[in-house]
Chains A and B, each alone.
Chain A
Amino acid sequence: MITIAGAGLAGLACAFELAQRGAAVTVYERGEIPGDSSVARFAGGMLAPWCERESAEEQVITLGSRASDWWSKITPVHRRGTLVVAPARDRAELTRFARRTSGHRCVDAAEISTMEPALARRFAQGLFFAGEAHLDPRRALRDLSAKVQAMGAQIRYGTPAPTRVTLDCTGMTAPLPGLRPVRGEMAVLHCPDVDISRTLRLLHPRMPLYLVPRGDGHFMIGATMIESSSDRPVTLRSLSELLNAAFTLHPAFAEASVAETGAGLRPAFADNLPRLTEQDGTLYLNGLYRHGFLLAPAMAQQAAARLIPETTDEDHRERQTA
């Protein structure tokens, strides 16, 4: 029996990989409602390794490039790519972003207006990352939880984990040295007047923004990156910056309802990359930082491989002949 503490994104992804390898899995989650105590519910849900490479290490691509395939077995994945634009004044940001990333091509005003008619005549140039995708984080957490349970794993909601577990996926509450919180703030806008079908990134020297369509006229916008352990609600400064940036993307957002705001703490190590660590007989998966949905699949596979080393072909043959 494998026991996991935490039914957030990391815990569920590990449960899935372990169940797939035939393990009996029990996940303990102190939250009562699925997904409710997971910071992943505030995530953008972007599967955007090539864009993220702008400020992250190469591993976001090596570990994250197959995340879309993994998630599409579990939840709807919208493979619409990412469109990156910049206001005319900040054209240099686009040049810099292009230089630091790969997997994109330049698009002009005409192509932008074909891809996203709502943005017609708003941006003269952009970058299109065709291989990227997005999903709805809350739906994905629900779907993953359901899938894991259908595979036979137990998830005990409202139940604190026993003192000793096989695998700890408790995010910021894990007692790991070097783990730090990076505060993120986001908002959800409801704006049926604007039709945007793919993830947009607005480059701006002060307030870069991403917008992820959630369907039904809802858009998630985010996200701040603040070195802080405070989980108080979004500040006026951050919110006004996010909303201003959304307005720069399209003036029709002025009429949007701010349907929700949120703030959470991303767990991160010094290199901002996730890590598997063993401490006192427990394996910890932590430090997914801002790359939860992108890197959880690969990290869960690594965790499962550590706990249940897969039988090699040779073992298999030996057993068949025995």
Chain B
Amino acid sequence: MQIYGTDITSRLLLGTAQYPSPAILAEAVRASRTEIITVSLRRETADGSGTGFWEHLRQTGCRILPNTAGCHSVQEAVTTARMARELFDTPWIKLEVIGHCDTLQPDVFGLVEAARILSADGFQVFPYTTDDLVVGEKLLEAGCEVLMPWGAPIGSGQGLRTPDALQTMRAHFPEVPLIVDAGIGRPSDAAQAMELGMDAVLLNTAVAKAGDPAGMARAMAMAIAAGRAGYKADPMERRDMAVPSTPVLGMAEFA
């Protein structure tokens, strides 16, 4: 998989918030074999002299994808993105512009505007969006080369609420890397996303808040690999009637 010209082998992107400790986070990163970890930036994380936490993140050896989590306006997101570029020395930015406090769903209007500003400024934007096709098109027009539709609200662990819409998105954007971001709760959710043809999955809470984060990270990686392999193997279509898998021909006749 290539994103912004970078080759990526692991199809699991891992968030770094809410782990019991940086030591457990590092263990989960190792177990997941991820190559990309996200880190959220808040104003107070930047006005100190950098934090020891970032040092722990750098030590994982992963590529860092800073994000604008918690930003509720275009201005805030753009400022945070610029801060992140300086701090982490990367043009990558996961762009979140939150539109609703309770569901944390993206403000897609603000998102497109911020994506346009940041792309023009040389950023490589990973937009956290909905499964709306028109918004997806506008984001591509704004300069994005990857789309990150939600599976369900952030941190809810509900799994994919609209798998059909994601499938439609896959069909509509056959060449654009699609990463399901948010809503994954269990390995089966991640496998389902991959079976639908998504290119990768980004998750955080499902691993961070599991009783055994490293164990869950490993399980997610296996589910993602299985889902991807299943997608590539071209699964059979569903039928609404049973079809015996043993041929009737050649059965013994008792008469």
Contacts and interface: CB of A to CB of B under 8 A. Distances in A.
A224 to B, nearest CB: 10
B91 interface: no
Nearest to A224: B44
Contacts of A272: 20-23
Nearest to A271: B23
A20 interface: no
A227 B53 contact: yes
Contacts of B211: 99-100
B176 interface: no
A235 interface: yes
A230 interface: yes
Given A270-B23, A272-B20, A228 B55 contact: no
A5 B44 CA distance: 29
Given A100-B211, A183-B44, A235-B44, A228 B51 contact: yes
B79 to A, nearest CB: 15
Contacts of B246: none
A270 B22 contact: yes
A55 interface: yes
Contact of B53 (A100, A180, A206): A180
22 contacts: A57-B21, A99-B211, A178-B52, A180-B53, A183-B44, A227-B52, A227-B54, A228-B44, A228-B48, A228-B51, A229-B48, A229-B50, A230-B44, A230-B47, A231-B48, A232-B44, A232-B47, A235-B44, A268-B21, A270-B21, A270-B26, A272-B20
What band does the interface of chain A fall in when counting residues whose beta carbon is under 8 Å from B?
A: 20 to 34
Nearest to B16: A227
Contact of B21 (A179, A183, A230, A271): A271
A205 B153 CA distance: 13
A226 interface: yes
Interface in A141-179: 178-179
User: Top 6 nearest A-B pairs by Cβ distance?
Assistant: A180-B52, A229-B48, A227-B53, A272-B21, A230-B48, A271-B23
B20 A270 contact: no
B186 interface: no
B52 A181 contact: yes
Interface in B185-212: 211
Contacts of B155: 205-206
A229 B51 CA distance: 6
B49 interface: yes
A46 to B, nearest CB: 18
Given A226-B44, A228-B44, A229-B52, 10 more contacts: A56-B21, A57-B20, A181-B51, A226-B42, A227-B45, A227-B52, A230-B44, A235-B43, A272-B20, A272-B22
* Binding site secondary structure of chain B: helix
B56 interface: yes
Interface string B39-72: 0001111011111111110000000000000000
Contacts of B50: 229
Contacts of B53: 180, 182, 227
Contacts of B55: 180
Contacts of B48: 181, 228-231
Given A270-B26, A272-B20, A180 B51 contact: yes
Nearest to B45: A228
A216 B29 CA distance: 48
A227 to B, nearest CB: 4
Most buried by B among A56, A57, A231, A270: A270
Contacts of B49: 229
Nearest to B20: A55
A183 B43 CA distance: 13
A268 B19 CA distance: 14
Nearest to A183: B44
Given A226-B42, A271-B21, A271-B23, A179 B52 contact: yes
A270 to B, nearest CB: 4
B58 to A, nearest CB: 12
Interface string B233-254: 0000000000000000000000
Contacts of B21: 56-57, 268, 270-273
A180 B58 CA distance: 14
Given A183-B44, A205-B155, A270-B56, A227 B23 contact: no
B61 to A, nearest CB: 15
Interface string B9-26: 000000000001111101
